A and B are shown apart, each in its own frame.
Chain A
């Protein structure tokens, strides 16, 4: 048992014995350390002004990822290297990403700039990143700038981020790895007393015991949702259990039958496996949150909390995903759709927690499409999310359809009427699709909110079904997605 949190900053080990259950990294930096280079823009992980880099060992390699420090709990950086904008320039010598930003005129008011610098720092240290504008905009999607219009920032990133890393961090990487190895241990962390604590059990049994003892405690994985309970809802969360140290809970097992995702595996860690299941799923993954959110946020956490903000569940439901739950009394598994009982209500018993999910691989006679409709393409929550898995016989007749939508009901939900109506429909014959289109009208009664009206949601849901059928059947000869068209460069001037 350890009663401190330990991490690296500026090459030194920092060990803190006083870590509150809801203290954020941003407050620690600005209020405790009085390091004000890291800014608060929104306090909800959506603008990126507070971005810091966390260095961790992944399979023995030192990997830097950007996270939003405003919703990252201080205890969660245990065992990591914390890098902030103050750590980048040596005396007056600017880091290459900083120098490029100056050279390209990438800052105007400067408030968002430290956040951009830190995201760019992590890209600079990602040796595998392909040098392209798409790579850059994907990395920067979680950093908002209101002044520049981004062009000079993109140019600065293209200029500075793709050469082999040659900075103070790469020079001392060996030493850093050694320090991080020494910080790594397998003891449970518990700071505080039974009324108010931050804890991080190291094993599943430890978690089951602790959670059994404190069933009202808050379970937190990536804190991209729980963080907002703290910063926005100002909720009192005196007992915090962080799952990030539990051995093996972050596993991602890619097998011929499908992908097993541990409850604490982040979106980032599962991206490759998801892309392997379906390119549509890969695109969806890259449009969830931002680099920062995907580096912290977990697939399991998003499901466990039953967050209304969930763009993966419709796709996972359509793919036939099962969910595993665990408690001191044992384990059980259920189809993902059955977990979402109602708005804000999930099938999770007292003392029970999500341990993982299993996403089956598509068989050769199955086609999968998913569509995320948003006001802004990147880092936005869908107004309508539609996912379709069609099983076909050799004649092109649909023998099974699994269709799930988000944004159409209080929970992610299957379109049972449309599914039934599609059974027996022929891909080549659009006249057989009509019944399913019609059935959607009675499958859902969507609501109007700030993202879209009920009417638009219904019309779009039907359009997405039609689009999926068009795409799978090949009845539309041309590209029917604006993003895909943009990426294919069809419209580039000669």
Chain B
């Protein structure tokens, strides 16, 4: 098991950037002193809030709500219902369709109907069980297929249409079609949803929330309290994991804590029980995909027709962006001359599905890989050959949404390197040999690419602010709009700011994200946290530095070229000062040592209505080769070896980037293998705890796990130090595992395309195996 840091990446004149430095909080993490919201010192008299819900109802009108026993339970201070909300009963990001507390109707199993406020959390939890909620249940719409039949959607259909898909399909030598189910995924951030609200003067509220989007917390709290945004401050120092699950899904809990705090005048904290958290909050969208692909008889794609049926749940939430991103990635890395890629955003009576690392992209790409596998299997060719045959290249490089893949060469080079380092072709022979000699166990091998568009496809989110202060003792206060959820954003931004000032990292004080310091921020999402915030912070530091340079030039009658910031010194000609000295002198000369930096991503021109323009600043690339073994009697599966090569441009911090790649891959592997969300026939989620919902554990990762950073010429776009975003793309490296399982199943009956659905649990694998055996016989 190796994770290799290329020395070339570390050999740089830069002092802080491109160094494999530890996470800023690493020492605190390991000693238990990193403070999460539930660890904060509570104000005297802090109360605890627990949401109450109907344990039976899935969908239906509320006939009566009897909360008398809840109110009289020990320790209960208040019981809140929708009527107690002073402002608007909505915690949605944009569409106004997410009630904080149910009003008149239960929309899904687990919807909060009331909230108990009690002296202790234990008292509140016990009291919440005493409610009697009578609901006139109706037959719920549960699956995407149900919703198609009932024709219920949360948003209008949308599609990309390029060329002439009908003509292309008709002209194809071979046409293949199929459909597959792609399951959702629970985030399982280790720190569950939590918020603490402290009432302030004049109706104000200070909210600590474990959120990826403090500005939205601020807006939501202001909206539910009926106060101006300026009366609310939201803050978060760190989350215990987010993965998209705290982008919009943190709103409701911050709102409830704030309503309770406003109601009681006391500090109020809400920390969801794990089961409640898993039942109530949204997840990765599950899909049914119907696909048709036409090719030229040699495996080169002529046309595709893909239909993505997404289960969105009871409300819109972020389903617009998620499903758009599915379409943006339905090409994986392959050129479709003619394409019709359709999306339906289906409304179901289930929790509202939301952002999850990859944001719809993984489902789109997985469908593309299924089409490629189908072509290869039916032509009796190696899937890798078909993949490469369809890669974007110099001529064939326009995506279905009209953006050219400018860096196609990186993709080719990266896959070629991986093909060699993973010893793909020799191992292909080994796998074939193994399968010829084993009846029960079968091996599979797959090498799949990743190409992921970087930028929010909602244009206005591609902006960020930072606030940097230089104090007169030479210490630097760093603040920006990005949030820290473990991805190392704070560390990367601090490295960039230390580099800019030429000071050691311990001079840069990292501070909690706070809406009163940097306003009107976007969520930390879309992998763009560093691209946006590090750039804004760099610009802020640069501005302060420029002011100092101007000041020093006047003082010392020299040009700017004579001034150098580095090694904790400011060198002016042959003199050397500490940064503190310079800051002090500048301050005495009445020069402002604080600056709010601002950055907006250039070149984004996407227009959704016309489906034209450029949605992405650039693409990030990667590739993974996976080898698996399946048991064709039980469906059990092991991942035996994985090789990964991933493109992060010039890495800002290779250790952190490797961590994102490995972690993203394993998370994606869990999504496609062991993590299965199961609802019963009534519509109740049955896998609502780690006892029944299985994310990967240490023994699930491959024993041979080779992960490397691609050494290229850096990001051609002018990103911060020519780095590339890394948060989401690695999730899709795990497609290699799914395709390898498919390859193993396919070995049972050459020429037949397996009907393997995701996640490939033992049961799903057995289903595909038995289906192969049946088809072989018939």
Contact = CB atoms under 8 A, between A and B. Distances in A.
Interface of A: 36-44, 46-47, 49, 84-86, 88-89, 94, 98-99, 101-103, 105-114, 117, 133, 136-138, 140-155, 232, 234, 309, 371, 373-381, 383, 449-453, 456, 459-460, 463-464, 466-467, 470, 476, 478-483, 485-486, 491-493
Given A36-B32, A150-B698, 19 more contacts: A39-B240, A41-B690, A105-B655, A105-B656, A107-B26, A109-B191, A111-B189, A112-B190, A154-B698, A373-B636, A381-B691, A453-B763, A463-B633, A467-B440, A476-B440, A480-B441, A485-B441, A491-B627, A491-B640
A486 B640 contact: yes
Contacts of A143: 697-698
A27 to B, nearest CB: 8
A286 to B, nearest CB: 10
Interface in B616-654: 627, 629-631, 633-638, 640-641
Interface string B699-711: 1110111010000
Contacts of B129: 234
A109 B190 contact: yes
B570 to A, nearest CB: 30
B665 interface: yes
21 contacts: A37-B31, A39-B240, A85-B30, A89-B31, A105-B659, A109-B240, A109-B486, A114-B30, A133-B703, A144-B697, A145-B190, A147-B241, A151-B705, A155-B3, A309-B691, A374-B694, A375-B762, A376-B697, A478-B437, A478-B439, A485-B638
B34 interface: yes
A36 B38 contact: yes
A137 B698 contact: yes
A107 B616 CA distance: 31
A258 B242 CA distance: 51
A124 to B, nearest CB: 13
A43 to B, nearest CB: 6
Contacts of B680: 450
B662 interface: yes
B248 interface: no
Contacts of B630: 482
B692 A38 contact: no
Given A146-B695, A451-B692, A110 B34 contact: yes
B29 interface: yes
B631 A480 contact: yes
Contact of A480 (B633, B635, B695): B633
A460 B634 contact: yes
B30 to A, nearest CB: 4
B1 A46 contact: no
Contacts of B439: 476, 478
A102 B32 contact: no
B380 interface: no
B687 interface: yes
B174 interface: no
Contact of A478 (B27, B275, B440, B698): B440
The 9 closest A-B CB pairs, nearest first, are A37-B32, A109-B486, A111-B240, A110-B29, A149-B666, A108-B486, A85-B32, A36-B39, A46-B690
Contact of A152 (B659, B704, B763): B659
Contacts of B443: 491
Interface size class of B (residues with CB under 8 A): 35 or more
A451 B676 CA distance: 9
Contacts of A483: 636, 638
Nearest to B730: A149
Nearest to A476: B440
A39 B674 CA distance: 25
A88 B689 contact: no
B639 to A, nearest CB: 9
B188 interface: yes
Given A109-B240, A466-B633, A480-B633, A47 B440 contact: no
Contacts of B243: 146
Contacts of A141: 697-699
A47 B766 contact: no
B28 interface: yes
Contacts of A450: 676, 678, 680, 686-687, 692
Contact of A46 (B38, B686, B691, B707): B691
B239 A109 contact: yes
A376 B664 CA distance: 19
A107 B274 contact: no
Contact of B26 (A105, A479, A491): A105
B701 to A, nearest CB: 5
Nearest to A467: B633
